[in-house]
Structures are given as C-alpha cells and as structure tokens.
Amino acid sequence: MNQTSAASPFIDVRSDTVTRPCDQMRAAMHTAEVGDDVYSDDPTVNALQSLAAEQLGQEAALFMPSGTQSNLVAFLAHCQRGDEYIVGGEAHTYKYEGGGAAVLGGIQPQTVPFGHNGELPLDLVEAVIKPDDFHFARTKLLSLENTQHGRVQSMEYMQSARAFAEEKNLILHLDGARMVNAAVALDVPLRNIGSLFHSVSLCLSKGLGAPMGSILAGNTEFIQSAKRWRKVTGGGLRQAGVVAAAGIYALEHCHEWIPTDHEHAKLLASLCQDIPGVSVRHDWIQTNMVWLDFDGDHQLALPAYTKERGVLMSVGRNAGRVIVHRNISEDDVAVVAQVIRDYFEKRQF
Ligand SMILES: *Cc1c(COP(=O)(O)O)cnc(C)c1O
C-alpha cells in the first residue's frame, strides 16, 4: 500500500500533496492511451471525466491542472464582473488562491468567519447578502469547503445550505479538495455530497495520490462554459491521458487507503496527547489532519529539530499541523510522535 518507486528519505507530514504515485499508478500512466484533449480526443481524459461525473453525482466533469484553477474557473463560469461570492474568511478560495476571482474575474469576495466546526453559519451568510440595488455588488454564489482544515461538514449542514441557496437564489459551490476524506468519514458515497452542489472541485493530487490534477464537476452547460474558461486561463491540455490515468487509478482505489490515513491521524493524536507544552485539538481530528497547539513560539526551532531527525513538519507560531497520507506508515506515525515528544520534553516550561 505504501510502496513507491522513488522513496523520500524523509517522513514528510507537511501535507498530503507530497504523496508520490505508487507503482500500480505509474503502470497505468505508462500504458495510457492518449490524444489531443483540446480536441476532446484523449480517451483516457474522457474516461476520467465520465468516471468522476458519475462518482460525484453530476452530469459532467472536466480535468483541471490544479485545484486553484478549478475553483477559479468555476467562479468565472458562474459569475460576471460585478458579482460577488460569499466565502469563509480562512477559506482556500479566498485566502490561498492569490485573490484570483477578484484579480481575473472582477468577482468580489464577501467573507464570513467560519463557525467552530468549519461551517459557514447560514444566519451570518444571510446577513451579508446584498439587496438588489446598484450601490452593491450582486451576491451570486456561496462557496463552502469540505473538509475544512480536516473538519467534516455534516450531511445535514450541506442539505440545509442547499435549501438556503435555493431560497436565496444563490449558486452553491463546493471546494471539495479533500471531499473524499469527508465522504469516508461520513461513510457516504461521494455522490451524496457532490449532488448537493451546483458545482464541485476535488483534488486528485493530495490524499488520492495522483501527481497532479483536479476535477471540476457540474451540469453539462456549466462544464461547457468551464471548458472555455479553462482554455482562457491557459489550462487547455494536450496528451493529458498520461496523468488522467493516475486520476482514474486514484478514484478507483483511494478507498483502500484513506480509512487507514484517518486511523493514523487518531493514533498520532493519542500518542501526542500527554506531551508537555502541547495540546491536541481533539475535536478537529476527523480525517487525515492533526492540529497541535503549543505553549510559546516554536515556528523555527521545532521544524529544524524534526528535520534533523528525518521528519518534515509544517509549524506556525503557536500551532502545528500534521497531515498523514498514503506514504506514511504506522511506524512513521510513531516516529513523528516520538520526535515531537523528544523536542518538548528536552525543554523547560
Ligand atoms: C489544496 C487545496 C486547494 C487547491 O490547491 P491546488 O494546490 O491548486 O491544487 C483548494 N482548496 C483547498 C481547501 C485545498 O486544500
């Protein structure tokens, strides 16, 4: 399950984006039939798009180079210049995508703070919807994130968001970069989540283990428009079947390892829970991310310490994030916990 044809010398828990294609995935890439996808001639890309649409409960899907481009193209296809989208203040589509919707689409973001569980509280969303008046941007779209920092949005919440969107005449988009993790945690098929939204974006390149790519899905008319915007933003693809084959392998096989990743996150949390100076955000550990809060600032010293011992970690001022994935074994989890413990136990508080 963890086999890779090119192993890294590090235990890398900075992100699940570091996953490397396994030998079976590389074999599928090696034998992929290809064509020019700008002419819709690549049979492997077409097969990936059909499979993804079917799995996501949508009419059609488009293979995108990245998740950032997938969200951007969704907004460009749904909105006009002078429209706005409502989004979480810490959401990826707002904070971590270079302001693309505003920069390239003239689409203004209106942020709302995430609730304690990663939901966007619908009463707060309602309060920022602008009346139809030429003083204001036109509120057009509501963008949710699932998982949000590893936290799962419930079926009930997503259903109520859809009903709310219908009532307010808003388009509902899901940044579902890690929605497979959400589906596994909720124990529902992907389509139960996907079909609640007008459009969804999913990353193949994170916990699913593909080297690159995302899927954007929605109805046929939306995907036709998205295909135009993908070309406009420089994302038209040629013999992309080589990487689409990895995406097909990822969608067909990820259920074999994602549940293990979630168990590994819980195991890591339990191994870290009595480390002095560290508190584990237990209620956030729902999928493959473990959030740790630290007494004091360890932003520079902790990752330097762990790196010398073979562990790559992502650390902010007072908190760290460990993301487990298919290239992290149970033994690796024990090593990560021990290295963090050693660092904090050697310090005086
Ligand atoms: C990773 C990620 C994306 C897309 O990122 P890319 O690196 O452009 O593929 C979008 N949303 C969330 C929540 C993500 O974690």
Residue 56, classified by CB atoms within 10 Å of its CB into exposed (0-12), middle (13-18) or buried (19+), is buried
Helix, strand or coil, per DSSP, at residue 348 = coil
* pLDDT band (50, 70, 90) for residue 4: low
The best mutation among 71, 75, 92, 205 to test binding of ligand 1, ranked by most ligand atoms within 8 Å of the C-beta, falls on 92
pLDDT at 3 over 60: no
Mean pLDDT on 185-198: 98
**CB distance 222 to 199 below 8 Å:** yes
Q: State the closest ligand 1 atom to the C-alpha of 69, by its place in the atom list counted from 1.
A: 8
**What pLDDT score does 8 carry?**
80
**Residue of minimum CA distance from atom 3 in ligand 1:** 67
Which residues, listed in sequence order, are joined to residue 138 by a DSSP beta bridge?
Answer: 83
The best mutation among 96, 199, 208 to test binding of ligand 1, ranked by most ligand atoms within 8 Å of the C-beta, falls on 96
Q: How far, in Å, CA of 328 to CA of 331, rounded?
A: 8
What does the pLDDT look like over 209-228, one tens digit per residue? 999 999 999 999 999 999 99
What does the pLDDT look like over 121-131, one tens digit per residue? 999 999 999 99
Give the helix ranges, DSSP H, for 187-286: 190-194, 220-232, 241-253, 258-272
- Residue 47 CB contacts under 8 Å (≥ 6 apart), including other chains: 244, 248
The best mutation among 17, 68, 143, 208 to test binding of ligand 1, ranked by most ligand atoms within 8 Å of the C-beta, falls on 68
Q: State the closest ligand 1 atom to the C-alpha of 68, by its place in the atom list counted from 1.
A: 8
Q: Are strands 314-315 and 319-323 parallel, antiparallel or unpaired?
A: antiparallel
Q: How far, in Å, CA of 200 to CA of 146, rounded?
A: 10
DSSP state of 196: T
* pLDDT band (50, 70, 90) for residue 39: very high
Mean pLDDT on 146-170: 98
For the chain, the C-alpha Rg in angstroms (whole number) is 21
Whether omega for the bond prior to residue 147 falls within 30 degrees of 0, making it cis, is yes
Question: Percent helix, strand, coil in the chain (nearest 5)?
Answer: 45, 15, 40
Mean pLDDT on 174-196: 98
What does the pLDDT look like over 48-77, one tens digit per residue? 999 999 999 999 999 999 999 999 999 999
Which whole-number Å values give the CA distances from 301 to 13, 154, 270, 297, 317, in the listed order? Answer: 17, 37, 23, 9, 10
* Domains of the chain, each with CATH number or no CATH: 23-254 (3.40.640.10), 257-345 (3.90.1150.10)
Q: Are strands 311-312 and 278-280 parallel, antiparallel or unpaired?
A: unpaired
- Residue 30 CB contacts under 8 Å (≥ 6 apart), including other chains: none
Sign of the C-alpha dihedral, residues 148, 101, 315, 293?
negative
**Closest CA relative to residue 67, chosen from 40, 93, 99, 103:** 93
238 alpha carbon – ligand 1 mean position (Å):
23
The best mutation among 175, 200, 287 to test binding of ligand 1, ranked by most ligand atoms within 8 Å of the C-beta, falls on 175
Side-chain half-sphere of 100: how many Cα atoms within 13 Å? Answer: 15
pLDDT at 23 over 90: yes
**What pLDDT score does 6 carry?**
59
**Closest CA relative to residue 204, chosen from 235, 180, 231, 234:** 180
Q: What are phi and psi of 198, to 5 degrees?
A: -75, -30
**Residue of minimum CA distance from atom 4 in ligand 1:** 67
**Closest CA relative to residue 185, chosen from 319, 284, 272:** 284
Mean pLDDT on 104-115: 98
Mean pLDDT on 161-169: 98
Q: How far, in Å, CA of 270 to CA of 247, rounded?
A: 33
Residue found by looking up tokens 């569980």 in the block = 117
168, two tokens? 């307010």
Helix, strand or coil, per DSSP, at residue 251 = helix
**Residue of minimum CA distance from atom 5 in ligand 1:** 67
pTM, rounded to two decimals? 0.96
* Residues in contact with ligand 1 (CB, 6 Å cut-off): 66-68, 92, 145, 175, 177, 203, 205, 214
Mean pLDDT on 23-42: 97
**Residue of minimum CA distance from atom 6 in ligand 1:** 67
16, two tokens? 């699940």
pLDDT at 1 over 70: no
Please state, rounded to an integer, the average pLDDT across all residues of the chain: 96
**Closest CA relative to residue 25, chosen from 167, 179, 211:** 211
